[in-house]
Amino acid sequence: MIRGLSAFALLLVVAACGGAPLPQPQASQAPVTQPPLQALPAGTYTSAGFRPPVTFTVPEGWTQPTDAELYTYLRPIENDAIGVHLFRDPKAASQDASCPAAPEPGVGGSAAELAAWIEQRPGLVVSAPTMATVGGLSGIQLDVGLKSDWTQSCPFANGIPSVALFNSPAIDHWVVVGNERLRLFLLDLPGGGTVVVDLDAFDGDQVEDLIARSAGIVRSLAFDTSAAPASALPSLPVP
């Protein structure tokens, strides 16, 4: 998966094809040292940034590297190859071969519309959709991975097979790469909008471990839809 969270001044590039990293851009200045991540004490927390606010319970050894209005992220402190990602109102990514940071024209944003679009991607293996309820929101569950014979690659993926999945003002590129495996919960918000909960194993061999380790976290999620809605989200330009 390749991620760019430019709206929050985060530059994060991750690939998961047998653990092979993508080449990093050359730094134009001295790198900034980030403080080490700290594990959260086991317990129940409410997001400070994500909207709608979400309450969750984590066991020992999990951390929350990012918590912003449109995206929040939980993972084991010792393993950045698996994690639980929450997106607010992600858009279907452009399927142009250049993989631009732009939405695919004509695709709606409801859980059903996103699920139908994902099922139709020629490079993806997608499970049969099932109804799901997470955190008080209803929607659709899908398991997603790349087809074994898929060879098309986004220009920034260095030839590694990939399919662009989501983007938004917060996410330049959320791309399924190599042997990555995802379990997606596409959830409708009352009054419009969606939340996507993504159990994501950048190393697809770890997906069953991720599902088992995150099951309690997913069961604990509770979205406060009575809170004030997020401000109007800007649209990405369509080239």
The tens digit of pLDDT for each residue in 146-175 reads 999 999 999 999 999 999 999 987 788 899
Q: How many angstroms separate the CA atoms of 111 and 158, rounded? A: 31
233 occurs within a structural domain: no
237 occurs within a structural domain: no
In which domain, by residue range, is 77 found?
A: 39-146+180-223
Least-confidence region, from 33-42, 47-56, 81-90, 107-116: 33-42
Q: What pLDDT sits at residue 132? A: 97
pLDDT digits (tens, 9 = 90+) for 200-228: 999 999 999 999 999 999 999 999 998 65
**CATH code of residue 54:** 3.40.1000.10
DSSP labels for the chain? ----BGGGTB------BTTBPPPPPPPSSPPPPPPPP-PBPSEEEE-SSSSS-EEEEE-TTEEEEEEETTEEEEEETT-TTEEEEEEES-EEBP-STT--SSBPTT---SHHHHHHHHHT-TTEEEPPPEEEEETTEEEEEEEEEE-TT-----GGGTT--EEEEEEETTEEEEEEETT-EEEEEEEEPTTS-EEEEEEEESSGGGHHHHHHHHHHHHHH-EE-TTSPPPPPPPPPPP-
199 occurs within a structural domain: yes
127 phi, psi to nearest 5 deg = -70, 165
24 occurs within a structural domain: no
166 occurs within a structural domain: no
Q: What pLDDT sits at residue 122? A: 96
Is the pLDDT at 31 greater than 50? The verdict is no
Structural domains counted in the chain: 1
Q: Are 140 and 110 in contact (CB under 8 A)?
A: no
88 occurs within a structural domain: yes
50 occurs within a structural domain: yes
Q: What pLDDT sits at residue 127? A: 98
Residue type, 202: F
158 occurs within a structural domain: no
